[in-house]
Structure 1
Amino acid sequence: MAHQLPETTSAPTLFTHSHPQGIDPSNPHELSASLYNEDLAPTTRKGRTWNSYSIFTLWANDVHSLGNYAFAIGLFALGMSGWQILAALGIGAILLFALLNLSGFMGEKTGVPFPVMSRIAFGINGAQIPALLRGAVAIAWFGIQTFLASQVLSVMVIALAPGAASLQQTSFLGLDTLGWICFVTLWALQLVIVSYGMEMIRKYEAFAGPVILVTFLALAIWMLFESGFNVSMTTGESRSGLDMWVGIFGAAALWVSIYGTFVLNFCDFTRGASSKKAIVRGNFFGIPLNMLFFGAIVVVLTGTQFSINGAVISSPSDVVEAIPNTLLLVLASGALLILTIAVNLMANFVAPTYALTNLFPKKLNFRTAALISGVIGLVILPWNLYNSPEIINYFLGGLGALLGPLFGIIMADYWIVRRARINVMDLYRTNPEGTYYFTRGVNFRAVAALVISSVVALLLAFVPALHVVGPFAWFLGSGAGAIVYLLMAKRRIDLADIDGEAIAVTPKH
């Protein structure tokens, strides 16, 4: 059963107060079934399988997502030179490297997923707020990214079977028949992968990483030959002086904000990390080095295409569609599909799955929660969301703006207020004397800090007069969350540092 509590032969003395009728022999650690199941439990030290390569391939996939390429290519189209784009990505990469290590170390120390980690700052019940906010953003983007991937699959199908184009003449609920077939196929494939848990996701990322790197390197080399090794570093008159530096730092800040989701719930992955060294090494090769490689690919793809016909591509898929050989086009499109699935699984599937498991730990395990997340991602008809600028900007944009304040609050509480001293056992107890019980299970100081700092974040996101500082919205929102929380946080707290090895579970899938 997903909610079965671990059995031990003797009751440890980790919890200072006793059960009213003595300690229950079947639950010697006094854990609550409303807070604990095998998927929310800490991971055992010996059972952790995420090494440096695992974390590197996580970034090898995500950094090279089509969305990231569209963003970086957009900088080229806005007048930034190739060298300025590389500088922006380099600065952003250094900032991300630091932020992801801070977030990742939390998962390595405690072994718990993000919803449980949120209990430290928000309380055992209040943690539902950050978990559901993060999950809601992710589940919508899961559907949207699956839809975008299905469009690539449609191109592949028509290239192999031109007669399939006739399936695009009929539609249902806003999507043509071929689109439905491709969407449901990719949707089901992702559900199968994620149903086998985090270990299968790790294996898929490890497989996809090299495929993606080789594919984009091959595309860049092909374009170099097509252009006669002529790479335009600018579309014309590039920025200079103060305007140049504002553009560089603004682009770097936006690059970091793209990863606002990941820096928040990176512990979902590093809870399986073998050591802090594995996190640092994986992040180093996966973030600074890999992002510079990514930047070089962007410069080559855009610069060579511009030198050929004076046009700026919008995505690497533009290059793929121009490949004259059908077999090579299909292979390249297949690689883009592998990439999109890899990004979707880690960025948009894991978070809502853990959020739902945390919401109903007695009823759901990782597999059933993943299935429910997938079904929601289907029934929201994501192609209609994608085609609605209002929903993207106001609903998803508004929810996304709240992730910065959440990050600031959680980091300030963990590293400054608690000095990284965590009683992991109390994260699963409903006893009012527990460290994270606060007031009826909610830390209202953290909730108040979130409300106040969210106002700042939303104003930055939606008030046109503040567009000048818009690129720095994530940093400003995160900083506001941290400052407000530090001003309000209770200082006299229990700083017991107790690991959760006694209740830890070795992942079985």
Structure 2
Amino acid sequence: MTQNDMQQKKFPVINLDLLPTGPESRTWSFSHYFSVWMGSVHNIPSYVTIGGFFALGLSTGQVFAVISCAALLVAVLLVLNGHAGNKYGVPFSILLRASYGGKGAILPGFFRGIVAGIMWFGLQTYAGSVAVSIFIGTFFPGFLTLGGNYDFLGLNLPGLLSFVLFWLINILFIFADVNTLGKLTKTVTVLVFIVFGGMSVWSIQLAGGIYPILAFEPTGGGNVSLILLISCISAIVATWVAPILSVSDITRYSRSDHAHSSGQFAGIVATYLLFALASISIIIGSEIAFGVPVWNVLEVVDKFDSVFAVILSLMTLALATLSVNIVGNIIPAANQLTSLFPAKLNFKKSALAVATIGVALLPWKLMENATSIFTFLNMVGALLSPVIGVMLTHYYLISKRMIDLDSVYGIPGKQAAAAFQAPALLATVLTGGLSLLGSRIEALEVFYTVSSLLGIAVSAGLYLSFYCARTFFVQKQHK
């Protein structure tokens, strides 16, 4: 009998896809975790975000500082929140129950899996489909003019066909195992360093050397406020709050705590250093050379003279987008749906539902200009960052890294976790509410503009205060 069979026997009422992972399933090493988030950094929406920073007036040095600070924060948060997944082998949807309660976990799980997961899936799928369109058009130029003025809710016919094709490629990976996913991320790592390193060299040559890029000041920019710099850091962290929350979905496959912690930290820092070099040199180099900043990296690829360079770049962007879509969106969203309906859904059925709903959200609307994505990022930060604060506070300060699996899985005959944990829910709702109100009320605007950073800190403080207050009153009543 395998360890997985033993887990099934121990937890007979739980869907198989949500069981703690056994030793035979823990196959991921340092190299897997070094490469797993490569696509999450080097993807099309990430470059759009950096383009937005320059559009806001940040200088080259300021953008580099923003990226560096955000990278360190993201790396630390991924490692901290990934510890429980590795130690207990549990997915995010189950881990939530430890701090929010069996039914209370539905709310943050809905925010992560349904809202952020599905919306990000649609956004990344559209971003990858644009690369597919250019790729096909390189070989068959007539493809880009198919359908004439045909319009499907804002997409022309070539765009629609490419979207459907890339969507189907995502679907194929739903039926692959975790080891296949690991091979994909490792392949992406090699390609990313080749392609984006090459783009950096090309852009520097285009600008006439590294000095013009370092000395470049955006029109009307350079003199920005501290709060704007912090909000830009928060914007990058906001792109990560969803993966940070559900990182246990992949750390549960780690061979050891060291494999995922050192792998993720080194991978994030190294990847973001390359990203900083590539994004800054591409955007500034193109503005110096062409007079107009190219904030969409696909437009840079379209300017290459070498067909081989175009093909390699587009393939890398598509694979990077594919990897982040599977790891960061489909897996957590599908696990959450399965947790909500364990008797009716398994992982594959849930993943198909996620992919289908993601199409209906018209994600291409978020990629229309360099700054439109910020509204979405702030909303995600407002909803999800409080959950990170609660989870970290509960795991490290309250439970002292101890989780009762019988309790969170609700094993018959065992003491089940409380249905609702009021301190966690109150802290999450109050903090998220402040952030969302900040988009409407000027006095609370700071909670909206830096929602991902303040959300973590404020919710952690509120949760600890509420938890201690409840414990005090309960103890007082029993005396």
- Pick aligned residue for 1:369 from 350, 353, 360: 350
TM superposition shift of 1:400: 4.5
- Pick aligned residue for 1:235 from 210, 213, 217: 217
Give runs of aligned pairs for residues 373-392 of structure 1, distance below 5 A.
373-383=354-364
Match of 2:168 in 1: 188
Q: Is the 8 A contact 1:60 1:290 kept in 2?
A: yes
- Partner amino acid for 1:260? V
1:140 aligns with 2:119: yes
1:157 aligns with 2:136: yes
TM superposition shift of 1:116: 0.4
- Partner amino acid for 1:205? T
1:268 aligns with 2:249: yes
**In structure 2, C-alpha distance between the alignment counterparts of 1:388 and 1:133, rounded to whole Å:** 26
Q: CA 1:445–1:466 in 2, change beyond 3 Å: closer, same or farther?
A: closer
1:412 aligns with 2:393: yes
**In structure 2, C-alpha distance between the alignment counterparts of 1:452 and 1:488, rounded to whole Å:** 12
TM superposition shift of 1:461: 4.2
1:448 aligns with 2:426: yes
**In structure 1, C-alpha distance between the alignment counterparts of 2:411 and 2:366, rounded to whole Å:** 39
Q: Secondary structure at the match of 2:205?
A: helix
**In structure 2, C-alpha distance between the alignment counterparts of 1:455 and 1:246, rounded to whole Å:** 21
Q: CA 1:166–1:309 in 2, change beyond 3 Å: closer, same or farther?
A: closer
- Partner amino acid for 2:157? T
Match of 1:473 in 2: 451
TM superposition shift of 1:113: 0.8
Match of 2:476 in 1: none
**In structure 1, C-alpha distance between the alignment counterparts of 2:62 and 2:368, rounded to whole Å:** 32
In the TM superposition, what whole-angstrom CA distance separates every residue of 1:197-240 from its partner, at most 9, and x where no partner exists?
43322221121121122111111112233333253222257636
**In structure 1, C-alpha distance between the alignment counterparts of 2:335 and 2:356, rounded to whole Å:** 15
TM superposition shift of 1:150: 1.5
Match of 1:226 in 2: 206
Q: CA 1:383–1:293 in 2, change beyond 3 Å: closer, same or farther?
A: closer
Q: Secondary structure at the match of 1:422?
A: coil
- Count residues in correspondence: 461
Q: Secondary structure at the match of 2:39?
A: helix
TM superposition shift of 1:80: 2.5
**In structure 2, C-alpha distance between the alignment counterparts of 1:283 and 1:244, rounded to whole Å:** 32
- Pick aligned residue for 1:423 from 380, 386, 404: 404
In the TM superposition, what whole-angstrom CA distance separates every residue of 1:118-155 from its partner, at most 9, and x where no partner exists?
01011223222222211122112212221222222222
Q: Secondary structure at the match of 1:39?
A: helix
**In structure 1, C-alpha distance between the alignment counterparts of 2:18 and 2:330, rounded to whole Å:** 16
Identity, % of aligned positions: 28
Bigger helix share: 2
**In structure 2, C-alpha distance between the alignment counterparts of 1:84 and 1:267, rounded to whole Å:** 33
- Pick aligned residue for 1:63 from 38, 41, 47: 41
**In structure 1, C-alpha distance between the alignment counterparts of 2:368 and 2:293, rounded to whole Å:** 23
TM superposition shift of 1:386: 6.2
In the TM superposition, what whole-angstrom CA distance separates every residue of 1:271-298 from its partner, at most 9, and x where no partner exists?
1111121122212321223212211122
TM superposition shift of 1:157: 1.9
**In structure 2, C-alpha distance between the alignment counterparts of 1:364 and 1:68, rounded to whole Å:** 33
Q: TM-score, normalized by length of structure 2?
A: 0.87
- Partner amino acid for 1:474? S
**In structure 2, C-alpha distance between the alignment counterparts of 1:380 and 1:251, rounded to whole Å:** 26
Q: CA 1:251–1:156 in 2, change beyond 3 Å: closer, same or farther?
A: same
Match of 1:502 in 2: none
The range that moved more, 113-122 or 405-414, is 405-414
Q: CA 1:68–1:396 in 2, change beyond 3 Å: closer, same or farther?
A: closer
Q: Is the 8 A contact 1:115 1:130 kept in 2?
A: no
**In structure 1, C-alpha distance between the alignment counterparts of 2:315 and 2:306, rounded to whole Å:** 14
RMSD: 2.8
The range that moved more, 200-209 or 171-180, is 171-180
Q: Secondary structure at the match of 1:80?
A: coil
TM superposition shift of 1:435: 4.9
1:113 aligns with 2:91: yes
**In structure 2, C-alpha distance between the alignment counterparts of 1:106 and 1:304, rounded to whole Å:** 43
Structure 2, unmatched stretches of 5+, are: 473-479
Q: Is the 8 A contact 1:273 1:279 kept in 2?
A: yes
**In structure 2, C-alpha distance between the alignment counterparts of 1:320 and 1:198, rounded to whole Å:** 31
Q: TM-score, normalized by length of structure 1?
A: 0.83
TM superposition shift of 1:115: 0.4
**In structure 2, C-alpha distance between the alignment counterparts of 1:247 and 1:129, rounded to whole Å:** 31
Q: Is the 8 A contact 1:235 1:306 kept in 2?
A: no
Match of 2:106 in 1: 128
**In structure 1, C-alpha distance between the alignment counterparts of 2:373 and 2:50, rounded to whole Å:** 20
Q: CA 1:343–1:305 in 2, change beyond 3 Å: closer, same or farther?
A: same
Q: Is the 8 A contact 2:56 2:221 kept in 1?
A: no
TM superposition shift of 1:396: 7.9
1:255 aligns with 2:263: no
Q: CA 1:99–1:239 in 2, change beyond 3 Å: closer, same or farther?
A: same
- Pick aligned residue for 1:311 from 288, 292, 295: 292
TM superposition shift of 1:334: 2.2
**In structure 2, C-alpha distance between the alignment counterparts of 1:106 and 1:467, rounded to whole Å:** 34
- Partner amino acid for 1:300? S
Match of 1:506 in 2: none
- Partner amino acid for 1:191? I
Match of 2:307 in 1: 326
Q: CA 1:175–1:296 in 2, change beyond 3 Å: closer, same or farther?
A: closer
- Partner amino acid for 2:172? V
In the TM superposition, what whole-angstrom CA distance separates every residue of 1:66-100 from its partner, at most 9, and x where no partner exists?
22222223323433332222222222222222211
Q: Is the 8 A contact 1:446 1:485 kept in 2?
A: yes
Q: Secondary structure at the match of 2:16?
A: coil
Match of 1:12 in 2: none
TM superposition shift of 1:266: 0.9
Q: Is the 8 A contact 1:55 1:286 kept in 2?
A: yes
Match of 1:202 in 2: 182
Considering only CA atoms, is the larger Rg found in Structure 1 or Structure 2? 1
**In structure 2, C-alpha distance between the alignment counterparts of 1:176 and 1:338, rounded to whole Å:** 23
Match of 2:477 in 1: none
Match of 1:498 in 2: none
